[in-house]
Amino acid sequence: MFKATIKIVLRPSILDVQGKAVLHAVHDLGYAGADQIRIGKHVEVILNVADKAEAHRQTDEICKKLLANTVMEDYTFTLEQI
Amino acid sequence: MFKATIKIVLRPSILDVQGKAVLHAVHDLGYAGADQIRIGKHVEVILNVADKAEAHRQTDEICKKLLANTVMEDYTFTLEQI
């Protein structure tokens, strides 16, 4: 069994409107030092497969096909045997 | 300047309906080995403050007051000088 920890973030060139909205709220709370906020997704997948190479392949495919919009988003992941 | 990388996840006792829906979709794509999926938020905040202790304090407060619903969610973060 492997646990894949996936981070999906908007590409740097894409405007993050959700992040901008949160930044306004952070400023309203009085944190003037906050300069930039970007918001992404954090996904944990438990995969019941035998070897790490297979877990890597399946996680990469799941990201590409389902979790990430690769036109606008980048993803990275780590695998951990559990 | 510090970059805070924040991970916000539902507490283990809370049912993750979004994760369940994604798990169904993953199974429909043919990945029978996927056992569990949990979805959280990944937030990056750039803080223009001088010292790490202050960055830690501000990030913790921003998480508590704004980003995380501490009744249902846990958060962790790391700080990196940039």
Diameter over CA atoms, chain A: 50
B30 vs A: CB within 8 A? no
The burial of A17, by beta-carbon neighbours within 10 Å (0-12 exposed, 13-18 middle, 19 or more buried), is given as: exposed
Q: Helix, strand, or coil here: B53? A: helix
Contact flag B46-A37 (C-beta cutoff 8 Å)? yes
A46 strand-pairing partners: A3, B36
Q: What DSSP letter does each residue of B1-32 carry, written as one string?
A: -EEEEEEEEE-TTS--HHHHHHHHHHHHTT-T
Phi-psi region of B66 (alpha: psi -120 to 50; beta: other; left: phi over 0): alpha
pLDDT value, residue A67:
95
A56 vs B: CB within 8 A? no
Low-confidence ranges of chain B (pLDDT < 70): none
Domain boundaries, chain A: 2-81
pLDDT value, residue A21:
96
pLDDT value, residue B28:
95
Closest CA to A7 of B70, B34, B53, B5: B5
B65 vs A: CB within 8 A? yes
Contact flag B65-A29 (C-beta cutoff 8 Å)? yes
pLDDT value, residue B47:
95
Contact by Cβ (8 Å): B2, B80 = yes
- The domain made up of A2-81 has a fold known as Mth169; Chain: A , (3.30.1280)
Other CB atoms within 10 Å distance of the CB of residue B53 = 10
ipTM of the complex: 0.86
Residue-by-residue pLDDT tens, chain A, 82 positions: 999 999 999 999 999 999 999 999 999 999 999 999 999 999 999 999 989 999 999 999 999 999 999 999 999 999 999 8
Residue B61, phi then psi, degrees to nearest 5: -65, -40
Mean pLDDT of all residues in chain B?
A: 95
Of B7, B35, B62, the CB nearest to A46: B35
Instruction: Give the chain B residue whose CA is nearest to the CA of A18.
Output: B43
